[in-house]
């Protein structure tokens, strides 16, 4: 896999934002631009300079709108860093072509994207510091229908006092455990809008910072690749680690 670090030009004055800051406000547009780093082979050969209009079907290449595995898909997260700057962290199954994605919008970037290979390997009882931005939800109205089929139900936000419990429950089935007492949460919201009419949607975003222990290395690696929770196309689910 690959890890990419994209430093975004947000300017140093929030009252006079650079295009990068405006772009980050709509997670749909961010995801759309990141998808452009995975053009299909036909798109790349037929339009090497990216002169044709964006067409979603040209940017599948088995990497977009697919299950996240070792050979398909990508996850991303938008992180604030020092001095008010912002970085986008992207974990992808194949090497992205950031030049192709941003060659007509390089004003969004403050530096050339940094891309590194990523081949994690874990051992039982290893400890890590972690960060995760997730969209914690739970399903309701999932009762069975008269014909015996189970109703899919709908997703609702997890209660504020249950947010750490939500992550702990997912950790248990994913081969790791978290130190609930030292897990810090930072609630917030992100905005996404597929149209230009201003009628978008706010998604709840919870940032988790804490420490974890690996229980089952194979299952832990699987969840690291797949991501945690829903709404992964809008910057949720990427679990990043540092040695404790």
Cβ-contact 60, 74 below 8 angstroms:
no
> 176 with 237, same domain?
yes
Does residue 8 register a pLDDT over 90?
A: yes
117, 141, 164 — which closes off a domain? 117
Q: How many domains does the chain have?
A: 2
**Per-residue confidence band for 11, with pLDDT thresholds at 50, 70 and 90:** confident
Q: What pLDDT, in 10s, does the model give residues 94-142?
A: 899 999 999 889 999 999 999 999 999 999 999 999 999 999 988 766 5
Q: How far apart are CA 215 and CA 123, in angstroms?
A: 8
Summarised one tens digit per residue, pLDDT across range 212-232 is 999 999 999 999 999 999 899
* CA atoms of 104 and 186, how far apart (whole Å): 35
- On whether both 132 and 40 belong to a single domain, the answer is no
Whether residue 113 is found in the same domain as residue 131: no
Residue with tokens 């800051």: 21
CATH number, domain of 169, equals 3.30.70.1210
168 near 177, Cβ under 8 Å?
yes
- Mean pLDDT value across the chain: 87
CA 239/CA 228 separation, integer angstroms:
7
CB atoms within 10 A of CB 178: 20
Q: Is 217 exposed, middle or buried (0-12, 13-18, 19+ CB in 10 A)?
A: middle
Residue 139 falls inside a structural domain: yes
How many Å apart are CA 231 and CA 87, to the nearest integer?
20
User: In this structure, is residue 122 part of a structural domain?
Assistant: no
Closest CA to 87 of 76, 73, 95: 76
Do 97 and 133 lie in one domain? The reply is no
Domain span at residue 27? 2-117
> Kind and range of the H or E element at 224?
helix 217-226
pLDDT at 19: 86
């Amino acid at each position: 896999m690959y890890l990419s670090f994209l430093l975004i030009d947000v300017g140093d004055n929030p009252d006079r934002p650079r295009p990068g800051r405006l772009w980050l406000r709509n997670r749909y547009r961010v995801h759309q631009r990141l998808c452009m780093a995975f053009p299909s082979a036909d798109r790349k050969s037929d339009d090497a300079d990216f002169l044709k209009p964006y067409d979603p079907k040209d940017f599948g290449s088995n990497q977009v709108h697919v299950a996240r595995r070792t050979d398909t898909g990508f996850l991303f997260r938008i992180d604030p860093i020092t001095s008010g700057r912002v970085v986008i962290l992207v974990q992808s199954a194949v090497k992205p072509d950031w030049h192709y994605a941003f060659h007509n919008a390089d004003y969004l970037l403050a530096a050339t994207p940094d891309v590194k290979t990523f081949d994690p390997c874990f051992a039982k009882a290893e400890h890590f510091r972690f960060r995760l931005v997730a969209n914690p939800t739970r399903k309701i109205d999932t009762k069975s229908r008269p014909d015996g089929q189970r109703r899919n139900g709908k997703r609702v936000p997890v209660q504020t006092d249950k947010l750490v419990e939500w992550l702990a429950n997912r950790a248990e089935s994913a081969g790791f455990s978290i130190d609930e007492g030292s897990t810090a949460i930072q609630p917030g919201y992100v905005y996404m809008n597929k149209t230009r009419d201003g009628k978008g949607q706010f998604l709840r975003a919870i940032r988790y910072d804490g420490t974890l222990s690996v229980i089952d290395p194979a299952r832990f690696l699987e969840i690291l690749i797949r991501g945690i929770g829903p709404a992964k196309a809008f910057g949720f689910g990427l679990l990043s680690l540092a040695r404790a």
